C-alpha cells in the first residue's frame, strides 16, 4: 500500500537549503548559553536562522532546537582557543555573522586585584575577543560579506568606580572594533560594537551590586538582542558602527553576592 506524502512547500525547500534562502543566516555567538547570548540565540532561531552557540555549559538549556548547535568551549583557556576555533571554522565555512559576546565581571579597587585576577579579566574581556576575530574574520573576508559585532559596555565610554580593569578591557575592545571597522570595509565585512549599561542577567551573580528592581533600572537582554539584530538587518552598504544603550533611570543596589 502506498502512503500519500505531501510535496514539500517552497518554504520548506528554502529552510532546508540555506544557500537558496538569502534571508536565513548562519550566526556564531560566543557566550550563547546565558544572558544576552541566549536571548539573541532564541530570537535568531525564532526568525528561522541557524545558530552556532559557543559557551562553557549548555546543560541548563531546556529548549532543544534543530537549528542550534552547541559547542562547549572554555574561553578562558587561551592556548586551546586557536585549535578549537579552527575546528569550528572548518565545519562552518558559510558563516554570515559572528557575535563576540562572552565576558565576565570582577570589580574592586585596582590594588585589590592580584596579578592573576587581572590577567583572567583581560583574557576573558579582551584577549579572547581578539582571538575570535582572528579566527573567523578570514571566513567572512573570503565570502566578501558578513558581520562581526562585539559586546562592549558603557564603561568603555566613561569608566567607573571600582571598574578600572573591566573598563580598560572594554575601552580596548572598542578600539579594536573601530580599527577593524576601517580595516575590513574593503573586504565587504561590517564590524560594529554594542555598549549596554546595566543589563538584567546573571552577570551580577557573585557580585555585591546589581540593578534596582524597577524595570527602568536595567536593560532587558531582549532589548540588547534587538539592537544587534538591527545592526545585522541594516542595508548591505550601511554599517551601524556603534550602539549605546542605557537604562532610563540608573539605580544600583548593594548587597551580599547571590552566587559563587
86 against 7, higher pLDDT? 86
Give the pLDDT band of residue 258 (cuts 50, 70, 90).
Answer: low
Half-sphere exposure of 164 (CA within 13 A, CB side): 9
- Residue 222: DSSP 8-state: H
DSSP string, 84-98: HHHHHHHH-TT--EE
Domain residue ranges in the chain = 25-254
- Average the pLDDT over each of 11-25, 108-122, 182-196, 214-228 and give the range with the smallest value: 11-25
Confirm or reject CATH 3.40.50.720 for domain 25-254, answering yes or no: yes
- Kind and range of the H or E run holding 38: helix 35-46
- Residue 249: DSSP 8-state: S
Residue pair 153/195 in contact (Cβ under 8 Å)? The answer is: yes
Per-residue pLDDT of 171-184, as tens digits, reads 999 999 999 999 99
- What average pLDDT does the structure give for the chain? 87
Average pLDDT of the residues in 56-82: 87
- Kind and range of the H or E run holding 175: helix 164-184
Rounded-to-10 torsion of CA 218, 224, 226, 227? 120
Residues with Cβ < 8 Å from 90, sequence gap 6 or more? none
Vertex 130 angle, CA 244 and 116, to 5°:
100
- Residue 157: DSSP 8-state: H
In the chain, at which residue ranges do the beta strands (DSSP E only) sit?
26-30, 50-55, 68-72, 97-100, 146-151, 189-196, 209-211, 242-245, 252-254
Per-residue pLDDT of 107-166, as tens digits, reads 888 999 999 999 999 999 999 999 999 999 999 999 999 999 999 999 899 888 888 999
- pLDDT of 256 over the 80 cut: no
Amino acid at each position: 500500500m502506498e502512503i500519500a506524502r505531501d510535496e514539500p512547500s517552497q518554504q520548506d525547500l528554502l529552510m532546508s537549503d540555506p544557500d537558496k534562502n538569502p534571508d536565513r543566516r548562519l550566526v556564531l555567538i560566543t557566550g550563547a548559553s546565558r544572558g544576552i547570548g541566549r536571548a539573541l540565540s532564541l530570537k535568531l532561531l525564532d526568525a528561522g536562522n541557524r545558530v552556532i552557540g559557543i559557551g562553557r555549559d549548555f546543560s541548563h538549556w531546556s529548549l532543544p532546537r534543530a537549528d542550534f548547535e552547541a559547542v562547549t568551549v572554555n574561553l578562558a583557556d587561551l592556548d586551546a582557543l586557536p585549535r578549537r576555533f579552527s575546528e569550528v571554522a572548518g565545519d562552518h565555512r558559510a558563516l554570515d555573522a559572528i557575535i563576540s559576546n562572552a565576558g565576565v565581571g570582577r570589580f574592586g579597587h585596582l590594588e585589590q586585584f592580584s596579578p592573576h585576577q587581572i590577567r583572567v579579566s583581560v583574557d576573558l574581556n579582551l584577549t579572547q575577543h581578539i582571538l575570535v576575530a582572528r579566527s573567523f574574520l578570514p571566513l567572512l573576508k573570503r565570502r566578501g560579506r558578513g558581520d562581526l559585532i562585539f559586546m562592549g559596555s558603557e564603561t568603555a565610554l566613561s569608566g567607573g568606580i571600582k571598574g578600572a580593569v573591566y573598563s580598560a578591557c572594554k575601552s580596548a575592545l572598542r578600539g579594536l572594533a573601530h580599527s577593524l571597522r576601517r580595516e575590513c570595509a574593503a573586504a565587504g565585512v561590517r564590524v560594529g560594537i554594542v555598549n549596554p549599561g546595566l543589563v538584567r542577567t546573571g552577570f551580577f551573580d557573585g557580585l555585591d551590586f546589581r540593578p534596582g528592581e524597577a524595570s527602568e533600572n536595567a536593560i532587558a537582554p531582549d532589548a540588547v538582542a534587538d539592537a544587534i539584530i538591527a545592526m545585522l538587518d541594516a542595508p548591505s552598504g550601511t554599517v551601524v558602527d556603534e550602539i549605546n544603550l542605557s537604562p532610563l533611570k540608573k539605580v544600583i543596589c548593594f548587597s551580599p553576592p547571590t552566587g559563587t
